[in-house]
């Protein structure tokens, strides 16, 4: 079923982007500054090596103007015409403070977010590329950025400091920050067997569902951490899916109107998986599963224990009955968590090589995922038979 797209690159492909729309093009970037534009059939439309020959780390098409392709290389961003790859139409030199890892455009194509090795996120006004905001809160490399659909002034960022942040672009401090290490430690307190080791949850890739309220973040601990944003941009709930046996490098929502909560993930274990998150407690909180909100839960537990000890002193039998009832509820909630995880992914593909980038898209009317790995070729897997 898989198709190989070859001969577009002479170096390992690092990133892939798809143009919106049914007839949209694809672009890929690789080590040494190579950029290739592909037709929907996998035919090479154009190839270019950017000046300076620094790695092409991110490629994004403008949603407002399909004739504009943004490519990051070193600390610069080049604007290309994908149908005429003779050279950059425009250059934003020094767009990042250090090497850029990821780009994101808002839905109107009026703002470009740039995440770099210094941990900074810069927001550039388009057209022109003038820096309108510099957001500094990450204490390590900022690896990924994503704008919220329907909220062009809301931006998510994730980094190797294990933090996910939501920003309102009117301010230079985040609206909230979630430390994935705190979350992972809290979950592992309940689940971890003695001697079991987990990689730290370095955050590699953040994606937002089309509704704008559900966030997925692929992390080095093999999990995809999920967050739900409520009214007032508050972090309402969080949870996770144990998606990969090694680090999860990629997570992207598949923007299918009929399946808004399908998420495709890739990892260092060479697996590509498609998940239906519509029944996950973070996505469907009205279900029976209990909310798992952190990191304030620890404090609440302490208060609960205090209240319980007072109750026990007053009415031992009542307290014992309540305790048993609570344990039954906890077991039921745990069983529901297990039941969500048991079905596993809707589709699991043994790709066999470490995944550098995933790009869901529609090719010739068929939903597909395009995979870049350590090789110089792209692999296209169809999702249409689901």
pLDDT in tens, the chain (386 residues): 899 999 999 999 999 999 987 778 999 999 999 999 999 999 999 999 999 999 999 999 999 987 899 999 999 999 999 999 999 999 999 999 999 999 999 999 999 999 999 999 999 999 999 999 999 999 999 999 999 999 999 999 999 999 999 999 999 999 999 999 998 777 665 555 444 456 899 999 999 999 999 999 999 999 999 999 999 999 999 999 999 999 999 999 998 888 999 999 999 999 999 999 999 999 997 644 444 444 433 333 333 333 333 333 333 444 444 444 444 344 333 333 333 444 589 999 999 999 999 999 999 989 999 999 999 999 999 987 66
* Confidence at residue 190, expressed as pLDDT on a 0 to 100 scale: 53
Peptide bond between residue 295 and the one before it cis (omega within 30 degrees of 0): yes
Calpha distance 197→200 (Å, rounded): 9
* Confidence at residue 104, expressed as pLDDT on a 0 to 100 scale: 98
* Confidence at residue 343, expressed as pLDDT on a 0 to 100 scale: 58
Tokens linked to 150: 């329907």
* Confidence at residue 191, expressed as pLDDT on a 0 to 100 scale: 56
> Are 126 and 77 contacting, i.e. CB atoms less than 8 angstroms apart?
no
* Confidence at residue 1, expressed as pLDDT on a 0 to 100 scale: 80
* Confidence at residue 356, expressed as pLDDT on a 0 to 100 scale: 98
* Confidence at residue 286, expressed as pLDDT on a 0 to 100 scale: 67
SS3 labels along the chain: CCEEECCCCCCCEEEEEECCCCCCCEEEEEHHHEEEEECCCCCEEEEEECCCCCCEEEEEECCCCCCCEEEEECCEEEEECCCCCCCCCEEECCCCCCCEEEEEECCCCCEEEEEECCCEEEEEECCCCEEEEEEECCCCCEEEEEEECCEEEEEEEEECCCEEEEEECCCCCCCEEEEHHHHHHHHHHHHCCCCCCCCCCCEEEEEECCCCCEEEEEECCCEEEEEEECHHHCEEEEEEEECCCCCEEEEEECCECCECCEEEEEECCCEEEEEECCCCCCCCCCCCCCCCCCCCHHHHHHHHHHHHHHHHHHCHHHHHHHHHHHHHHHHHHHHHHHHHHCCCCCEEEECCCCCCEEEEEEECCEEEEEEECCCCCEEEEECCCC
* Confidence at residue 198, expressed as pLDDT on a 0 to 100 scale: 65
* Confidence at residue 290, expressed as pLDDT on a 0 to 100 scale: 42
* Confidence at residue 184, expressed as pLDDT on a 0 to 100 scale: 74
Tokens linked to 379: 């692999």
């Amino acid at each position: 079923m898989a198709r190989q797209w070859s001969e577009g690159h002479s170096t390992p492909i690092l990133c892939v982007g798809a143009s919106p729309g049914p007839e949209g093009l694809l672009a890929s970037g690789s080590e040494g500054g190579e950029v290739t534009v592909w037709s929907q059939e996998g035919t090479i439309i154009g190839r270019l090596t950017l000046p300076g020959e620094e790695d092409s780390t991110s490629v994004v098409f403008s949603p407002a103007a399909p004739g504009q392709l943004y490519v990051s290389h070193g600390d610069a961003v080049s604007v290309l015409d994908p149908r005429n790859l003779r050279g950059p139409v425009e250059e934003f030199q020094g767009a990042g403070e250090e090497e850029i890892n990821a780009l994101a455009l808002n839905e109107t194509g009026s703002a470009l977010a740039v995440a770099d090795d210094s941990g900074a996120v810069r927001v550039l006004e388009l057209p022109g590329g003038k820096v309108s905001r510099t957001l500094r809160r990450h204490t390590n490399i900022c690896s990924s950025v994503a704008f919220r659909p329907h909220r062009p002034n809301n931006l998510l960022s994730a980094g190797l400091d294990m933090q996910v942040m939501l920003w309102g672009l009117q301010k230079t401090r985040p609206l909230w920050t979630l430390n994935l290490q705190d979350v992972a430690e809290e979950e592992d307190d309940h689940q971890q067997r003695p001697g079991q080791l987990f990689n730290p949850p370095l955050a590699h890739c953040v994606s937002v569902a089309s509704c704008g309220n559900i966030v997925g973040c692929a992390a080095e601990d093999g999990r995809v951490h999920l967050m739900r944003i409520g009214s007032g941009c508050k972090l309402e709930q969080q949870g996770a899916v144990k998606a990969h046996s090694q680090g999860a490098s990629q997570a992207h929502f598949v923007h299918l109107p009929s399946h808004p909560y399908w998420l495709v993930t890739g990892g260092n274990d060479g697996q590509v998986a498609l998940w239906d998150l519509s029944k996950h407690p973070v996505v469907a909180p009205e279900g029976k599963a209990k909310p798992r909100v952190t990191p304030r839960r620890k404090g609440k537990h302490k208060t609960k224990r205090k209240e319980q000890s007072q109750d026990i002193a007053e009415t031992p039998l009542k307290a014992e009955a309540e305790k048993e009832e609570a344990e039954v509820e906890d077991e039921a909630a745990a069983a529901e968590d297990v039941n969500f995880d048991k079905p596993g992914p809707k589709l699991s593909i043994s790709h066999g090589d470490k995944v550098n980038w995933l790009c869901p898209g529609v090719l010739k009317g068929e939903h597909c995922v395009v995979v870049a790995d350590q090789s110089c070729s792209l692999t296209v897997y169809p999702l249409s038979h689901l």
